[in-house]
Structure 1
Amino acid sequence: MEEKFEQVEKILRKTGQEHLLKQYERLTDDKKKQEFLNSILTIDFDAINEIYLNSKKNITNKDFTIEPIKFIDKERIDEKEYIEYEKLGREIIKNGKLAVVTM
């Protein structure tokens, strides 16, 4: 667990989030400490930082084109397709684009 702690500590220091280590120090149960470390390792701090930086950018009005898309019945897509659409949506949002879907 010491190696995992050092890995988490390095990540948190690199991202300026070392204050989270105070929560770890408050835990007394080894299982809870392990869960905490595992939880920290699942966080994509670079993505969070990018989202934060993008939120501070000035938005300029652009001419937006509204285009219809092909209708997809959510109930008829399989899990693989659903995962692909979810990945596509996340990528679109990450690139500062957006889409509106009504259901």
Structure 2
Amino acid sequence: MKIAAPLLFLSMAALCIPAHAADEGPAAVAELGQLNGIALACQQPALVSRARNAIVTAAPKTRDIGEAFENATNAAYLEQGKGKTPCPDGATLASRIAAGEKRLQAAFPKAQ
């Protein structure tokens, strides 16, 4: 009976954690990686630095996070290089990166 109370507490605590919280982090990292790839291909070095800095400062320093960011960056860079879509102007890309930064910070609040 002494173990039942802690198990019940842990079970209830697990139910309080949002199921989507675990999905937000990788999606936010991939989004910033994609924007980083676009900024690279469109020769926007200040925005490349901003996207990279957001990952370094807001996300946990794990291999999975780094690989996800790099893979998304590479895919977006190669796609942009095909010339099928025009480069967005700097202001549009900057606002998309700002939104990605906020999403990343919301996904990893303790990493800050």
TM-score (norm 1): 0.31
Using CA pairs below 8 Å that are at least 6 residues apart, which structure has the higher relative contact order? 2
Higher helix share: 2
TM-score, scaled relative to structure 2: 0.29
